[in-house]
Amino acid sequence: MAKRSFNKKAKTLQPAVMKLNFQLPGNTTGYVGLSNATSRLNRRFMRQGLNWAVANVKVTSLPALDNVVGTQCYVSSIPHTWVTANAWMKSFSMWKKQQDEAVDAAGAESIVARFRDFKIVMDGTQGLNETGLLTPVGIGPGDFVGPAGSGPLEVYTSAKPSEEWLSSQIVIPNHDVDQVTGIALPAEEVYLQMLGGVAGLTPGDDRVGMIMGYAQSRSRPQSPDPIGPAANLGWMSEMFDVGADSSVVLDNAEFRNNELPYDADEYPGTGFNMQIPEVQGYSHNQSTTGINTFNTGPFTAPCGLIRFDFKNQNTAGTLPQYNYITVTLVPGTHRGYLAETMEEF
């Protein structure tokens, strides 16, 4: 019998930092960008257009301001819907097409930025560029949940001029004209946010909503849906013996549930319908003296963006000043991490 041979060659996992730590002052909202943080910590370029696997998010939050309302903490991500996936894909394709056409027309392929990447923000609250994302920190052993400046907390170097993480822009040429001269005003450069925002620009807008724009670009489903041929009431005739008048039965068949089970125009994620992130975990702590720690468990983070909201916290006196966050990622074959591209999402 011939000796069986097996190909034992397997794809080697690249070494990568799996636990990311962040700090956020009390009663504030902050955003973690996994692609940004892992790029800086690993010295490795990670595109934002990834759906990241997150094993867990551990949050250590500050005491409550009062024991009636208590303090609230929410951990959220971009919603996991087909609308999100299609809006990202169409926005990305149009952004890339606009730039590629301009580069091709100018014959300037050599000038394209080495790390050109499609970068968006989650919603209207997130700041743009590097300033809209939390900086990784190192939490050493000891009493790390102390007042500001105490404890062995090491902050990762703030973004330097040589570091770039710039939100992507699209260009709206000839968007408006001077009301006096009639001459077209300069082209407008606007940023892209997934949730909320506007579908069409007015002068002064600096952001557009991706889901809003996607919803406006699609045709609407027909509603109410026309009923087909008349139903055949042949079997179980006694059960349906309505005599000569079956109008009530037909009305029931024709008009009950003949409308869409969802709004035809207001896509989830637009300014009119659930323009809030998808909550992955939350905590309600009524203790006014003790900190609270909770874990979200596993989830995925589209575009690697995670939002943290802390409310009604006591930050007075010598009480702790910061909330602490630890994001645990999953090892995988995408440059050391388990992640899929947003095209696969």
**Each residue of 144-163: pLDDT tens digit?**
554 444 444 555 555 556 67
Provide the domain limits for residue 279. Answer: 19-156+274-341
Q: In a 10 Å sphere around its CB, with 0-12 CB exposed, 13-18 middle and 19+ buried, how is residue 170 labelled?
A: middle
**Which alpha helices (DSSP H) does 2-155 contain, by range?**
34-42, 82-106
Contacting residues for 328 by C-beta, under 8 A, at least 6 apart: 18, 19, 54, 55, 56, 57, 58
At 268, is the pLDDT very low, low, confident or very high (cuts 50, 70, 90)? confident
Determine, yes or no, domain membership for 337.
yes
Report the phi/psi class of residue 196: left, alpha or beta, with left for phi > 0 and alpha for psi in -120 to 50.
left
pLDDT value for 173:
78
Q: What is the residue whose two structure tokens read 């930050």?
A: 315
Closest CA to 336 of 14, 2, 5: 14
Lowest mean pLDDT among 46-55, 180-189, 228-237, 306-315: 228-237
Determine, yes or no, domain membership for 250.
no
Beta strands in 62-202, from DSSP E residues, in sequence order: 71-77, 137-139, 153-155, 169-172, 188-193
Instruction: Report residue 185 as tokens.
Output: 């005003």
Global pTM reads 0.84
Determine, yes or no, domain membership for 92.
yes
Mean pLDDT, to the nearest integer, of 6-10? 50
Higher pLDDT, residue 12 or 208: 208
Determine, yes or no, domain membership for 164.
no
Determine, yes or no, domain membership for 229.
no
Determine, yes or no, domain membership for 213.
no
Determine, yes or no, domain membership for 241.
no
pLDDT of 10 over the 70 cut: no
What is the tally of structural domains in the chain?
1
Q: For 290-301, how does the pLDDT look when each residue is reduced to its tens digit (9 = 90+)? A: 888 999 999 999
Higher pLDDT, residue 7 or 53: 53
Q: For 52-69, how does the pLDDT look when each residue is reduced to its tens digit (9 = 90+)? A: 999 999 999 988 988 888
Determine, yes or no, domain membership for 121.
yes
pLDDT value for 271:
77
At 331, is the pLDDT very low, low, confident or very high (cuts 50, 70, 90)? very high
Instruction: Report residue 183 as tokens.
Output: 């001459």
Mean pLDDT, to the nearest integer, of 69-81? 95
At 1, is the pLDDT very low, low, confident or very high (cuts 50, 70, 90)? very low
Distance of CA 256 to the CA centre of its chain: 37
Angle at 79 between CA 42 and CA 201, to 5 degrees: 95
End-to-end CA distance of the chain: 46
